[in-house]
């Protein structure tokens, strides 16, 4: 994982260093609602707040390269009587991606995003204090809208999807994250 992050960091540095002075950098704060489903024949679904930060480098008028870090909260799965926490989940991702945008109006644009989600996942069974963790990389997809409120400030809404192939006690299971995100950003 460290090697992958190092390679992406070097590539991003090369891309950013070769960008002309006219290229535009952006920084975004991300706040979302993450629906997380563990598909191990029981379809456990939990929800929590996602938080993140994203930096971007505009490569052309319609293409932006970005790097994001997101945490998806610590949602809990409760016992049937809702008196105790049965499982607790922790997931974080580092996402290099490409965004392709199309202007609808001068201030409003629609976009699609595709990238690779490098994730860390942990399940904690609170009854037995068993901890299961895994990490890996899987495709990341998203669509959204951006509204420029001024030359440098913008807000956005997007829907992201990542399906992780998680090793859960020797079995590979799907852990899906469907994240509806609101963002606020600044363009340099």
User: 97-145: per-residue pLDDT in tens?
Assistant: 999 999 999 999 999 999 999 999 887 776 666 777 889 999 999 999 9
pTM score, two decimals?
0.81
In sequence order, the 6+-apart residues with CB closer than 8 A to the CB of 110 are 101, 102, 104, 143, 144, 145
Pick the CATH number of 2-187 from 3.90.230.10, 3.40.50.720, 2.60.40.10, 2.40.160.20: 2.40.160.20
- Token pair 């998203």 is at which residue? 142
What is the token pair recorded at 65?
A: 């390269």
User: 56-102: per-residue pLDDT in tens?
Assistant: 999 998 999 999 999 998 766 655 555 555 667 788 999 999 999 99
């Amino acid at each position: 994982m460290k090697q992958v992050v190092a390679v992406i960091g070097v590539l991003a540095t090369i891309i950013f260093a070769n960008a002309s002075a006219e290229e535009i950098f952006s920084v975004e704060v991300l706040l979302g609602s993450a629906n997380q489903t563990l598909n191990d024949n029981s379809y456990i679904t939990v929800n929590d707040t996602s938080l993140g930060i994203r930096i971007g480098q505009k490569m052309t008028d319609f293409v932006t390269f970005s790097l994001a870090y997101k945490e998806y909260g610590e949602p809990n799965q409760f016992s049937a009587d809702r008196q105790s926490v049965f499982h607790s989940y922790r997931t974080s991702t580092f996402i290099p991606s490409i965004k392709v945008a199309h202007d609808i109006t001068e201030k409003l644009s629609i976009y699609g995003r595709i990238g690779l989600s490098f994730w860390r996942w942990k399940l904690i069974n609170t009854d037995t204090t068993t901890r299961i963790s895994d990490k890996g990389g899987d495709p990341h997809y998203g669509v959204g809208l951006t509204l420029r409120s001024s030359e440098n400030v913008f807000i956005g809404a997007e829907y992201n999807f990542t399906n992780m192939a998680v090793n859960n006690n020797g079995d590979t299971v799907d852990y899906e994250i469907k994240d509806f995100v609101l963002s606020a950003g600044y363009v340099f």
